[in-house]
Amino acid sequence: MLHTATAELTAADREGVKVFDLTAHGLRALNQALHDFRRNPTNETVWEIVNTKGAHAIAVGVDAPLDITVRGTTGYYCAGMNKQATIRIDGSAGPGTAENMMSGTVIVEGDASQYAGATGRGGLLVIKGNASSRCGISMKGIDIVVHGNIGHMSAFMAQSGSLVVLGDAGEALGDSLYEARIYVRGQVKSLGADCIEKEMRPEHYEHLEALLRRGLADGKARPEEFRRYGSARKLYTFNIDNASSY
Amino acid sequence: MTEFPRTPPRQSWTFSNDANAEIRRAAATGIYDIRGGGSKRKLPHFDDLLFLGASISRYPLEGYREKCSTDVWLGTRHAKKPIHLDIPITIAGMSFGALSGPAKEALGRGATEAGTSTTTGDGGMTEEERGHSKTLVYQYLPSRYGMNPDDLRRADAIEVVVGQGAKPGGGGMLLGQKISDRVAEMRNLPKGIDQRSACRHPDWTGPDDLEIKILELREITDWEKPIYVKVGGARPYYDTALAVKAGADVVVVDGMQGGTAATQDVFIEHVGMPTLACIPQAVKALQDLGMHREVQLIVSGGIRSGADVAKALALGADAVAIGSAALVALGDNDPVYEEEYRKLGTTAGAYDDWHEGKDPAGITTQDPELFGRFDPVLGGRRLKNYLKVMTLEAQTIARACGKSHVHNLEPEDLCALTIEAAAMAGVPLAGTSWIPGRSGGPF
Ligand SMILES: Cc1cc2nc3c(=O)[nH]c(=O)nc-3n(C[C@H](O)[C@H](O)[C@H](O)COP(=O)(O)O)c2cc1C
């Protein structure tokens, strides 16, 4: 149900698309209309949001199998707490994009600012550009695929789910990590407390291959090029001799 | 040989037996002391304030016969569905994980029967409390354990937790002993490991992005729910002002006596300001912004009786919240369990190792055998009784001061017993017109 880029859209493609002008109608009207699908579904399931002007909280709390394309750059928390919907940002995304996502897919065509996918509990977040610091912070089951690089403190306290990075990772990757899995293809500037490199076993290649495919990156990278990182599980119970790591 | 008189053995004030015992404990175990409850020091508190009562200059209301209302509206600033409570005493957020399922159920039952709200806590919303609470406030915490949009939508209000009075600037702590399968699953973490929740939110850090976060929460819930912001008593003037600026409907200020499920003792006893000192600052911030009563103020931290409630309201709060006192009403630290407290090396009234999960009263535990002892229906009834008594006490005082609503109590109805309390609460020292730090006074 993914959109192709605007340029490729023919007039016919656009026909079934509900175009919403955010500047003209405002944020409240947009989110209310999207929420109304929960109780009153219609066949207007393909949406295009235009004139976003970096607004915050675009398409938050959606809980319906909608196909939404946001044209232009977004502010904070676009697609926050998404359930079911496929939301594509045709531009760069502000902080906290897809925070606490439950299910569905969010695709950022450009770069994503801080805390992308924070505390996400399910679904898939694809960032085609780079992600800034704290990508996947405290993630709880979401899968995140970043085609570019990620900033410092990414996957801090990440609990579960997977973070795949085709480029490089910044400082303190996976600090205080729990059970989330991290795969990085490029350089890792440094690992955070309790994060270690782990062996890639056959099941990890398989897992990663599927993630790359779902993350629209299968042509861009091969599983063999990645290293895997996970928790050493040394901070799971308090030990005074590890106090310098806390 | 002549026996000369000797200097009697003298204990040091500085190196007291308690201080030395703590040094020995630290030396032996290599870990700081973690415990539940609030500050145990003697702090300036509501006990240091008195009501003046009515006399010739103002007349009282007749007990029982003349009306003295106690209801309160919360969230009238922006929410489409503000909350209306019969009494100005709410139940504070206490996490499932720290408390047992039956204890959470009892809190919901008691609060509902008394016409007030209860609050979730770190760890998410349980069916027990949603099902048994007419009005349930859903906490939005840094850990975001269990956070999901469905629970946001079925909550009656949302409380963004920035801090807690017991540990302003601190995160949560739930040690391995209490991580049962159910707790682990709700939090999406392995069973049996120590959980230290973050102290800052993962996706905002200051007042400007808090404002955007509140906007997001309002948009997700279609502007229906009141949004509270809870802060620990650190800098209540600025925190209140910033919460208002960020768009809060309700500000919750929790002073340092406020309870916690598990925190380092050094944090509980040495960080934050007493509740008494927090209230006037928070009220001043609201007044300076022209928002007093527009944005409601809930105060917590050491509230035990209707007198405490009345004093908090007189200083300008719209409502109070109780945590520890509600647990005591349910049976926490009850002398009936003395024998078992002794076995745990403590005594009724002093038991605070809640993080170990061995609570004989079945309240702060996840052990099915222990929480099986606790009857949520009876617990709920006890809590309801206690809430009703507190309300009646607050009304008694309000009528004595000539007020037809408890919210009409005012600082002019109060005097202070100590210079400290006078300075902190901003009311005159009894028998004088002296408010230290504010006025000279002729007396
Ligand atoms: C057992 C227990 C658990 C608590 N859990 C939370 C929590 O999850 N979130 C929170 O904001 N405050 C929590 N608190 C603090 C209370 O919400 C409240 O601020 C405090 O108890 C008020 O002070 P009081 O105990 O003197 O009434 C907890 C307190 C206790 C006693």
Residue B1: pLDDT above 80?
no
Comparing A3-12, A35-44, B407-416, the range with the smallest average pLDDT is A3-12
- Residue that is written with structure tokens 């937790």 in the block: B161
Provide the pLDDT for residue A245: 60
- The number of the ligand 1 atom at minimal distance from the alpha carbon of B230 is 11
Q: Which of A211, A207, A165, A158 is nearest to A188 (CA)?
A: A165
pLDDT tier for residue B365 given thresholds of 50, 70 and 90: very high
Q: Smallest Cβ distance to A238: which of B31, B198, B203?
A: B31
Q: What percent of chain B has pLDDT over 90?
A: 88
Per the structure, the count of domains in chain B is 1
Residue B430 falls inside a structural domain: no
Asked if B193's CB is within 8 angstroms of A137's CB, the reply is no
With residue B252 as reference, give the H or E element that holds it.
Answer: strand B250-254
Tens-place pLDDT, residues B290-317: 999 999 999 999 999 999 999 999 999 9
Residue B111 falls inside a structural domain: yes
Q: How large is the average pLDDT for residues A43-57? A: 96
pLDDT tier for residue B439 given thresholds of 50, 70 and 90: low
Q: Smallest Cβ distance to B189: which of A31, A121, A178?
A: A178
Q: Which of A17, A10, A16, A94 is nearest to A52 (CA)?
A: A94
- Greatest Cα pair distance in chain B: 92
Residue B224 falls inside a structural domain: yes
Q: What percent of chain A has pLDDT over 70?
A: 91
Q: What chain B residue is nearest to A137 in terms of C-alpha separation?
A: B202
Residue B11 falls inside a structural domain: no
Measured between alpha carbons, how far is residue A187 from residues A134, A171, A209, A228 in Å? 17, 10, 20, 12
Residue B375 falls inside a structural domain: yes
Q: What is the CATH number for B176? A: 3.20.20.70
β-partners of residue A169 are A150, A188
Cα A3 to averaged position of ligand 1 atoms, centre (Å): 48
Residue B22 falls inside a structural domain: no
Can you state the angle between helices B236-245 and B275-288, rounded to 10 degrees? 40
Neighbouring C-beta atoms of residue A192, cutoff 10 Å: 20
Q: Which of A117, A132, A37, A40 is nearest to A79 (CA)?
A: A117
Phi, then psi, of A126 in degrees rounded to 5: -115, 125
Pocket test for ligand 1, best of B41, B95, B117, B364 (most atoms within 8 A of CB): B95
The SS3 of residue A227 is strand
Asked whether B45 and B274 are in contact (CB, 8 A), the reply is yes
Chain B nearest C-alpha distance from A9 (Å): 31
Residue A11: pLDDT above 70?
no
Tens-place pLDDT, residues A144-203: 999 999 999 999 999 999 999 999 999 999 999 999 999 999 999 999 999 999 999 999
Can you state the angle between helices B207-220 and A27-39, rounded to 10 degrees? 40
Alpha helices in chain A (DSSP H): 11-15, 22-25, 27-39, 202-214
Which of A28, A49, A58, A76 is the best residue to mutate to test the B interface, defined by the most B CB atoms within 10 Å of its own CB? A76
With residue A17 as reference, give the H or E element that holds it.
Answer: strand A17-21
Question: What CA–CA distance (Å, rounded) separates B40 from B34?
Answer: 14
pLDDT tier for residue A240 given thresholds of 50, 70 and 90: low
Q: Which residues line ligand 1 (CB under 6 A)?
A: B 36, 38, 92-95, 98-99, 121-122, 139, 161, 164-165, 230, 254, 257-261, 300-303, 321-325, 364
Residues in CB range of A229: below 8 A, 6 or more apart: A173, A174, A177, A181, A182, A183, A184, A188, A191, A195, A196, A197, A198
Residue B175 falls inside a structural domain: yes
Tens-place pLDDT, residues B118-157: 999 998 999 989 999 999 999 999 999 999 999 999 999 9
The SS3 of residue B411 is helix
Model ipTM value: 0.93
Q: Which of B224, B208, B214 is nearest to B247 (CA)?
A: B214
Residue A6: pLDDT above 60?
no
Tens-place pLDDT, residues B21-69: 999 999 999 888 999 999 999 999 999 999 999 989 889 999 878 999 9
Domain boundaries, chain A: 1-82, 114-234
Question: What CA–CA distance (Å, rounded) separates B216 from B212?
Answer: 6
Provide the pLDDT for residue A184: 98
For B317, the domain range is: 35-425
Residue B219 falls inside a structural domain: yes
